[in-house]
Structures are given as structure tokens and as C-alpha cells.
Copies of this chain bind each other. A is one copy, B any other.
């Protein structure tokens, strides 16, 4: 191995290629990938060839690379149980309210959207399946934060609180009070904090150990910001159904370590 990034494993190089699609995807050229990964072009070319042959990546007519469907298929098993459990109820929630419904879990400092039900009618595009948004800027995220352990919440509030819109709450003391209120009242509301024009209401979904494992919410146009709580009972009803289904998970399914 030459001095160029000596000590770097092949696995780490391959994963750095995949990482480049996270940060700069969805379509990247060979040269871009070499630059983003710090690999010489010939090395990148060789590793990309193997990933492409297997189907982890695809290549278009212009020679640009994308994530391949095989990786999509393979990874459907991740989070599938929660998604499959929640989906019918998100669908019911959508049918009852005709508003975009979604469910998120906490991943690090962000809300990760594991599913979402919406239609061609007005869709304030605040979330996307597989997408992430900062906890403090979303209703589902505020719920997840409100029910987290105090040390985590305090560490989060001491971190860098990004203002996603001009309406995002970023004052730590103000957010702490808000989260305490959310824990008391059992729901969170955001008004154009994640995205201009969109407001949201969310409630917690408890897991098997009675800890809050996810949060389910609705997204509406900001014109309906004053009447969000009218959806509370149906949201809570749906959350209860999801919790009951989670409680019915087969025994012995362990919590993830990683």
C-alpha cells in the first residue's frame, strides 16, 4: 500500500463509496466518487466495478452511478416489522383525515421517517420515507425528545440547534419548557418549524418496554394551524392500535444492540 491513505481497509473504502451517495447522491460520476472518497481514480473504478457487477450500484448510459435496486431490496428487512405493523393504521389515519400521516423513530439527533401515507392532493412535503429531520424542528421529533432520558434531552438541547425555517424554535430554555409540556399533555405541535407552509401534530407510540419507540403524526397546511388538536383523538386511537400490534410481536425478539 502506498502512502496514499495507508492503513485503510478495502471494506472501509467500499463503505466510503456508499457513503458518498448518502451525502452527494443520487447520481455520481467516477471522478466525483474518487474525489469524495479520497481514492485514486483507478482504485475507485475497480471497486465500483465490483459493486456494479453485484447490483449494489447501477450505472446509467452516461456512465454515472446510482444506488442499485438490489441494495434496496436487501435492506427492506431493516425496520420492516415496525413499518409493516404501522402501515395499515397509517392508512386508516389517512382515510379518516385525508391528511399526510407518518411515523418516525429517533436515530441519533434526528427523526428518521420509517413510513408515510399521502396522496396527490395537497401534500406539504416536509418528510420523506428514509429521510431525516432534526428532532427539535418536527412534531414527531419533539415527542421523541420529550420522552427521552433527561441526560439525552439536556445534551441535545446543549447542542447546535439548527433553524430549519424562520419559525423553528432554537432557544434551549424555551424548548425545554415546551418539551416538559409535551410530556404532560401527550402530544406535540409544530407550526412551520420544519418547513414553511406546513404544520404538524404528533403523539407517542410506546414499545414493548413501555418506552416510547416511535411517534406518529399528521402534516397539514399551515392554514389549519389553529385546529390541529381536533385530530388528537384519532391520532391517539391509531397510536394505541400500533402499540397493541407491537405488544403482539412474537416472543424472544430481542432489542437491537447496535
Q: A15-B56, A58-B258, A88-B123 are in contact. Are A73 and B10 (CB under 8 A)?
A: no
Residues of B close to A18: CB separation below 8 A: 56, 74
A9 surroundings in chain B (CB, below 8 A): 10, 50
Contacts of A22 in B (CB 8 A): 73-74
Partner of A257, one of B59, B71, B89: B59
Stretch at the interface among A75-83, A146-154, A174-182, A221-229: A75-83
- A interface residues, how many (CB within 8 angstroms): 67
A55 to B57, CA, bound (A): 18
A21-B77, A95-B95, A119-B88 known; A258+B59 contact, CB < 8 A? yes
Measured CA separation A95–B131 after assembly (Å): 26
Partner of A69, one of B62, B72, B112: B112
Which residues of B sit under 8 angstroms from A131, Cβ to Cβ? 73, 76
Q: Quick one: copies of this chain in the complex?
A: 2
Q: Which residues on the B side are within 8 Å of A241 (C-beta)?
A: 120
Question: In this assembly, does A166 line the interface, its C-beta being within 8 Å of a C-beta of chain B?
Answer: no
Q: Which residues of B contact A121 (CB under 8 A)?
A: 88
Q: Which of A128-143 contact B (CB under 8 A)?
A: 128-132
Q: Do most interface residues of chain A lie in helix, strand or loop, or is the interface mixed? A: mixed
Q: A88-B120, A123-B88 are in contact. Are A60 and B21 (CB under 8 A)?
A: no
Are B67's CB and A77's CB within 8 A? yes
Residue picked from A18, A73, A132, most chain B C-beta under 10 Å = A73
Given contacts A60-B256, A91-B118, 15 further A-B contacts (CB under 8 A): A15-B54, A18-B56, A25-B77, A58-B78, A60-B255, A61-B254, A68-B78, A69-B78, A69-B79, A69-B107, A72-B78, A76-B128, A88-B118, A89-B120, A120-B241
Some 26 contacts from A to B, beta carbons below 8 A apart, are: A9-B50, A10-B14, A11-B47, A15-B54, A21-B74, A25-B77, A57-B258, A58-B78, A58-B256, A59-B257, A61-B256, A66-B78, A66-B256, A67-B74, A67-B75, A69-B78, A69-B107, A69-B112, A72-B79, A72-B130, A73-B130, A75-B75, A89-B120, A91-B119, A92-B119, A120-B241
A-to-B contact residues, CB < 8 Å:
9-12, 14-15, 18-19, 21-22, 25-26, 47, 50-52, 54-64, 66-69, 71-80, 87-89, 91-92, 94-95, 107, 112, 117-121, 123, 128-132, 241, 254-258
